[in-house]
Amino acid sequence: MGSKVSTYGDVYSYGILLLEMFTRKRPTDEMFNGNLNLHNFVKAALPERVAEIMDPEILRETEEQTSMTTARNLRSSTRRYGILECLTSISVIGVTCSSEMPSERMHMDEVAAQLISIRNKLLETPRRGERQTSHTIRPVPTTIIV
């Protein structure tokens, strides 16, 4: 934005990179014009419409499992819910890191800690044929600074 180089710019770039990876959209995509940009596109979808804006390949495996038996459907929906929670948390991190105001952006040590927490939660979400573990998982905050 014409300011001097700082770690705030790196955090912004990291946030945009996260949004690009999970939505499979580029900031230069033709759909982004006027006030609509990748940051605002994701922010507007949080938290209810995250599945709609994500790269369809991310949820493909979970969607394929919906035609299975009732017991498997329950495990599948539990897994899908866990994945959607993780995607929402990652999207919040991306949006917060790419805030217009540098003072509103997260610090990278906090980003790393939250991403590790998300990874751990995802690893504990039951997969096909697995049972839910009894571990308690600390939720990742999903508030967005406006």
Over residues 116-141, the mean pLDDT reads 63
Over residues 62-67, the mean pLDDT reads 55
Q: What are the structural domain ranges in the chain?
A: 7-124
CATH of domain 7-124: 1.10.510.10
- How far is it, in rounded angstroms, from Cα 40 to Cα 34? 11
Neighbours of 89 (CB within 10 A): 22
User: Quick check: 59 pLDDT over 90?
Assistant: no
Give the global pTM. 0.74
**pLDDT attached to residue 138:** 45
Over residues 92-114, the mean pLDDT reads 95
| Residue 49 CA from chain centroid, whole number | 11
Structure tokens at 11: 């955090």
Instruction: Report which of residues 24 and 67 the model is more confident about.
Output: 24
